[in-house]
Structure 1
Amino acid sequence: DKNPLSFLFSRTVTHDIGNGRHEVDRLNDLIEHLTDRTRPLPQLYPSTSDRANVHGRSTAWKHGHMSYVLIAPASVWPTKQWPEAKWVELIEALPREQEVFIIGAPGDSELAQRIIAASGRGVDLTRELKLLESAALMEGAVMNYVNDSAPLHIASAMNAPVTAVFCSTVPAFGFGPLRENGRIVERKDPLECRPCGLHGHAACPVGHFKCALDIAVASVHS
């Protein structure tokens, strides 16, 4: 019903953001009269080639480690991005027997390299993987640590375990994990300024960025 041309539609549905309903359910409302109303969940389908490429290359990337965690530290919106130093602390807290893979867009490589240099661990895959290869890699991770950003939804579509850190945005917008193996971490106490927008900002509008800085590494790691 938010479309400016909705008056031309034969049928409209209410699209309210902020009441806790997931976006998937809001969109499914558009077709529920054509279905049995079973909740369909989005899925991705890496090809046999995608999986083979990831499996073959990940053996070398793991450097002898039997398992790995995956971190996607970047976001298009800086206020949706857990600070760089926090990701470094998280990596330092992870078991040494697990390899750490960092994924993202090619433009996230500098961030990945800084995190690896500061933590002394990690493999930068930001320039190595296609989207469906990233999806296949996420599926095999012990845990995927992400922001409120695209990798969160890739993990949900792969039914992969995911820990999503919400900074300036809130889960009530309806863009959180979809599966039972997903968890959300956010600042425990409410802030008058949070959420400061649906999509985020280039910088904290009030200057303190407490919504991100007050999220303890231990709460993400646990």
Structure 2
Amino acid sequence: MPTVPPATLLIQTAFIGDVILMTALLEYLHHTEPATPVDVLVRRGNESLVAGHPHVRHVLIWDKKHRKYAALWDLLRQIRAAHYGRVVTLQRFASTGFLTAFSRAPERVGFSKNPLSGFFTRRVPHAIGDGTHEVERNLRLLNEELGMKNEELTDASNSSFFIAHSSLRAASKPRLYPSAADEATAAAYAAGPYVCVAPTSVWFTKQYPEEKWLELLAALPSGLRVLLLGGPPDVAACERLAAASGRAGVENLSGKLGLLASAALMRGAVMNYVNDSAPMHLCSAVDAPVTAVFCSTVPAFGFGPLSPISFVVETKEKLACKPCGLHGHGACPLGHFRCAHSIEVGQLLESMISG
């Protein structure tokens, strides 16, 4: 009977989009180490993304809102008791660095920017802004050669090595697996041609303005149904948008669908219009067509869409203030929000024609 290798633990306790991008590592490990069990640690609220994932053995949950630091110690004891062979943190914060550094795993891997990286057995550089996608940055935690540029791989090795690594990089993209129940939930709303619109974001400066979304709804072909998506906090904004549009066939589904059911619904859409936010990554993980609006941020940060049919829409103005930060702000720091208001709705419509 073959011996089962020690399990690997992947730690990603950030936001929904970060967990989705982490699933590329699950695909990589499934291809390269199919016998190695893989567990994941996520923050409470994100566990539904990976609870039924075919390449995940167990899901550990950190409740950051209740006994945050006591729960962290409980997790450390749980991690030590599991005797992981490798613990990998995808974050650059002390909390997950703590779990990794003191996990007692023989392999402790993370980014060199983590304040506790001195206790890791392997530290990987992390640079934002050079166009490298976050998936590539994360994959380097498991294989640094996957982070090399194609020309570097070619120079450093023979053609078979280059082809093998290029193929593996292509296969190692984010992937989610909606259940049969998720598919059935989505199917109930998927009759006829439709577009999905996810109009909100946690950050104000990453959100295309409401009046611009209303312009888009007015300009979309009349035969298309419009399904508004979002979580429970987005219900009021989506309801307001639906009511103000005056358009027939607009349905507010925010707060009604889980993440995986939303992904399944987006996969069947003619087009999905989203901000630089979690719904964009849902599209990437199920190969759904997507048009992503980047207001204050830029794709060069490494968080752009990865779907086969992907469009990025940005202002055509040359703004010295864009980007104004890696994440976003509660308001435009300069008060004009030109990076959003100067994006023309026609730019969004062009992607539907091209797609």
Give the alignment's TM-score, normalised by structure 1.
0.93
Cα distance change on mapping 1:34 and 1:190 into 2, 3 Å: closer
- Greater Rg over alpha carbons, structure: 2
Q: Aligned-pair distance for 1:34?
A: 9.2
Q: Aligned-pair distance for 1:115?
A: 1.1
Cα distance change on mapping 1:34 and 1:199 into 2, 3 Å: closer
Asked if residue 4 in structure 1 is aligned to residue 115 in structure 2, the reply is: yes
Q: Distance in 1 between matches of 2:115 and 2:144?
A: 23
Amino acid in structure 1 at the alignment position of 2:127: D
| Deviation larger for 206-215 or 12-21 | 12-21
Amino acid in structure 2 at the alignment position of 1:118: A
Q: 1:14 aligns with which of 104, 122, 125?
A: 125
Q: Aligned-pair distance for 1:67?
A: 0.6
Q: 1:189 aligns with which of 301, 304, 317?
A: 317
Amino acid in structure 2 at the alignment position of 1:205: P
Asked if residue 166 in structure 1 is aligned to residue 294 in structure 2, the reply is: yes
Question: For 1:91-132, what per-residue CA distance to the aligned partner results, in whole angstroms no more than 9, with x for missing partners?
Answer: 111111110000001111111111111211310000210111
2:47 aligned residue: none
Q: Aligned-pair distance for 1:180?
A: 2.7
2:267 aligned residue: 139
Q: Distance in 2 between matches of 1:105 and 1:174?
A: 24
2:221 aligned residue: 95
Amino acid in structure 1 at the alignment position of 2:195: V
Q: Aligned-pair distance for 1:190?
A: 2.5
| Deviation larger for 111-120 or 29-38 | 29-38
Q: Aligned-pair distance for 1:13?
A: 1.4
Asked if residue 106 in structure 1 is aligned to residue 232 in structure 2, the reply is: yes
Q: Aligned-pair distance for 1:162?
A: 0.3
Amino acid in structure 2 at the alignment position of 1:14: P
Q: Distance in 2 between matches of 1:204 and 1:52?
A: 41
Q: Distance in 2 between matches of 1:7 and 1:84?
A: 46
**Partner SS state of residue 123, structure 2:** coil
Q: Distance in 2 between matches of 1:211 and 1:5?
A: 37
2:210 aligned residue: 84
Q: Distance in 1 between matches of 2:329 and 2:215?
A: 24
| Deviation larger for 29-38 or 185-194 | 29-38
Amino acid in structure 1 at the alignment position of 2:216: L
Cα distance change on mapping 1:192 and 1:34 into 2, 3 Å: closer
2:35 aligned residue: none
**Partner SS state of residue 122, structure 2:** coil
Q: 8 Å contact 2:283–2:307 — kept in the other structure?
A: no
2:186 aligned residue: 54
**Partner SS state of residue 291, structure 2:** strand
Q: Distance in 2 between matches of 1:189 and 1:174?
A: 21
Provide the identity percentage: 55
2:106 aligned residue: none
Asked if residue 179 in structure 1 is aligned to residue 179 in structure 2, the reply is: no
Structure 2: where are the runs of 5+ without partners?
Answer: 1-111, 147-163, 351-355
Q: Distance in 2 between matches of 1:154 and 1:139?
A: 9
**Partner SS state of residue 145, structure 1:** strand
* Number of aligned residue pairs: 216
Q: Distance in 2 between matches of 1:33 and 1:114?
A: 47
Q: Distance in 2 between matches of 1:154 and 1:126?
A: 15
Give the alignment's TM-score, normalised by structure 2.
0.59
